[in-house]
Amino acid sequence: MIKIDLYDPKTGDTKHYEQPRVSFGNIKKVLAVDKLTAQNKAKKKVLEQKLDNGTALTDKEIQEYIKLASTSEEELDQIENIIVELFNKPQVTKKALEEGLGADGIEVMKNILTEAMGGINAENKHPAKK
């Protein structure tokens, strides 16, 4: 089960949403976003190792390192899109996420993705699967 609390600036209320089941199709989308995140971390690590070894970065590598220093806009868009799909509720939209999450919004969304992926393990451990 995944959960999210979104602040509604129009009413001043925080609303709680839950999705008890995550479909396999959505898990595949979560894994695709996870793969992009892992690739970006790996690229950044390689560039950091070069710097740590005293190797000068090329101009292209410097630009790439700066881009990888934080979560990219592309990555954020993908995360927002998959969160909206995961909840499958008309109230959970990209706009609602952007207005309703606080400064820790990226972390909250990444935790939801982690919880969604955990659903695979929970279902595989279900007694009916034994």
What 3-state class would DSSP assign to 47? Answer: helix
Closest CA to 42 of 19, 65, 62: 65
Intra-chain end-to-end CA distance of the chain, in Å: 21
**Residue 110 included in any domain:** yes
CB 106 within 8 A of CB 71: yes
Please indicate, yes or no, whether the overall pTM of this predicted structure exceeds 0.85: no
Q: For the residues 82-107, what does the mean pLDDT come to?
A: 95
**Residue 29 included in any domain:** yes
Q: For the residues 8-29, what does the mean pLDDT come to?
A: 93
**Residue 75 included in any domain:** yes
What 3-state class would DSSP assign to 6? Answer: strand
pLDDT at 67 (0 to 100) = 84
**Residue 107 included in any domain:** yes
Kindly state the tokens that stand for 16: 């709680």
Closest CA to 80 of 69, 102, 95: 95
Kindly state the tokens that stand for 70: 């934080």
pLDDT at 124 (0 to 100) = 47
**Residue 24 included in any domain:** yes
CA distance 82 to 89: 12
Q: Is the pLDDT of residue 8 over 70?
A: yes
**Residue 8 included in any domain:** yes
**Residue 64 included in any domain:** no
Domain count, the chain: 1
Range of the domain at 20: 2-35+70-129
**Residue 115 included in any domain:** yes
CA dihedral sign of residues 35, 40, 44, 47: positive
